[in-house]
Amino acid sequence: RKEPVRVLITGAAGQIGYALSSLVGHGELLGKSQPVILHLLDIGTATEPLNGLKLELVDSALPLLTDVIATTNLTEACTGVSIAIMVGGYPRKTSMERKDVMAMNGSIYKMHASALEKYACKDCKVVVVANPANTNALILSEFASSIPRKNITCLTRLDHNRALGQVAAKLAIPVSTVKNVTIWGNHSSTQYPDVNHGIANGIGIRDAIKDDDWLDNEFVTIVQQRGAAIIKARNMSSALSAASSVCDHIRDWVHGTPPGHWVSMGVLSDGSYGVPEGLCYSFPVTCQNGDWSIVQGLPIDARSRHKMDDTARELEEERQLAREFLQD
Ligand code: NDP
């Protein structure tokens, strides 16, 4: 039997944590033969639901779940983890400015970075979910400098999966026959869901759908606004799909993407496609041997260039704001 892997979920008592911890226990994160020890972290006010979650996980009698540590102690939560899923953060209330939520979450991510740096495994793989996800990941990478920068990512896989789902629904084909869409940029409404290189049923998505107007307008808006549509329908934000996409993100990163497939991940830019170096930006990536690489050489038309630059500009503004309040 394999040694168990320690997996941290922060903000574990929240909605995404609730769905995610069960998926992890069922082997959706690291595969059906990999035992895990779940480290569930939340803040003092969430102690009761956090303990409740632990009780439910015990009651699920999941063979792969070797142990569950439910804690409000950051050191205990980070000790020995080799996967860290950062879901904890203040939600943006309607009365709050973007910079207010950034300041609050920025200071949390600075603190969590220091704890991961001290207590997590040195090759810990990190995915940030809490918003603003890209900039929180950037802050984390700056304050956890002993963790390789390549190991710090943010989640755009939900947006990627939403794009696959929309193409499949439009063509009435199984989602498994659609691949290689790309989410460029920020996990925000400026993200650019790009189908120009995507494949549906073995042919280009544009040739399969034969409706460029829909692809250039309605499709992009549906993907960008899908989170808001789910809040309207459920009166709560998406949780199951977010949790499921976290599993896809980590599983592909650890076990590799299938030949000929790419996925979208928020990673630190090396300047590829003219994206300013050091921004945490979503790119098309393939994964092999536990490493991701940005897919190179995709032709970029003028319309895409414009959208990729707009979302990069928003991320540069966020980086600037983060620098200002972290200096204070
Ligand atoms: P959720 O579990 O629904 O969401 C958690 C975070 O994920 C939010 O920041 C949310 O951002 C973000 N997110 C990113 N992508 C998505 C997506 N596609 N759909 C939904 N959310 C997404 O929030 P809860 O409020 O239920 O739980 C948060 C937990 O964090 C609570 O248990 C709370 O106690 C904890 N917390 C921890 C803090 C800390 O560690 N110091 C501070 C504050 C809270 P958005 O709000 O923009 O959707």
276, 316 contact by CB (below 8 A): yes
209, 171 contact by CB (below 8 A): yes
**DSSP letter string over 277-302?**
TT-EEEEEEEEETTEEEEPP-----H
- Model pLDDT, residue 328: 65
> 178: how many CB neighbours lie within 10 A of its CB?
24
Please give the distance, rounded to the nearest whole angstrom, from the Cα atom of residue 304 to the centre of ligand 1.
31
Residue 227 Cβ contacting ligand 1 at under 6 Å: yes
Single-letter residue type at 68: V
Residue 85 Cβ contacting ligand 1 at under 6 Å: no
- Model pLDDT, residue 103: 85
Mutate-to-test residue for ligand 1 from 87, 90, 92, 100, highest number of ligand atoms within 8 A of CB: 87
Please give the distance, rounded to the nearest whole angstrom, from the Cα atom of residue 84 to the centre of ligand 1.
15
- Model pLDDT, residue 260: 96
Atom 26 (ligand 1) nearest CA = 14
In angstroms, the Cα distances linking 210 to 62, 134, 173, 182, 292 are: 46, 33, 15, 19, 33
- Model pLDDT, residue 115: 98
Residue 92 Cβ contacting ligand 1 at under 6 Å: yes
Catalytic residue, chosen from 39, 187, 197, 249, is 187
Distance CA 287, CA 44 (A): 37
Residue 220 Cβ contacting ligand 1 at under 6 Å: no
Residue among 319, 235, 254 at smallest CA distance from 36: 254
Residue 237 Cβ contacting ligand 1 at under 6 Å: yes
Residue 119 Cβ contacting ligand 1 at under 6 Å: no
Distance CA 236, CA 56 (A): 22
Atom 24 (ligand 1) nearest CA = 14
Here the ipTM equals 0.91
Residue 43 Cβ contacting ligand 1 at under 6 Å: yes
Cis status, amide bond into 193, omega within 30 of 0: no
193, 159 contact by CB (below 8 A): yes
Distance CA 124, CA 80 (A): 9
Strands (E), 180-252: 182-184, 192-194, 199-200, 203-204
The pair phi, psi for residue 65, each rounded to 5°, is -95, 100
Please give the distance, rounded to the nearest whole angstrom, from the Cα atom of residue 196 to the centre of ligand 1.
32
Mutate-to-test residue for ligand 1 from 71, 78, 104, 237, highest number of ligand atoms within 8 A of CB: 237
pLDDT in tens, the chain (328 residues): 899 999 999 999 999 999 999 999 999 999 999 999 999 999 999 999 999 999 999 999 999 999 999 999 999 999 999 999 999 998 877 777 777 888 888 899 999 999 999 999 999 999 999 999 999 999 999 999 999 999 999 999 999 999 999 999 999 999 999 999 999 999 998 999 999 999 999 999 999 999 999 999 999 999 988 988 999 999 999 999 999 999 999 999 999 999 999 999 999 999 999 999 999 999 999 999 999 999 999 999 999 999 999 999 999 999 999 988 887 6
Q: Report the nearest atom of ligand 1 relative to the CA of 92.
A: 46
- Model pLDDT, residue 239: 96
Q: Is 112 a catalytic residue?
A: no
Atom 6 (ligand 1) nearest CA = 130
Residue 286 Cβ contacting ligand 1 at under 6 Å: no
Angle at CA of residue 249, ends 255 and 218, nearest 5°: 135
pTM exceeds cut of 0.80: yes
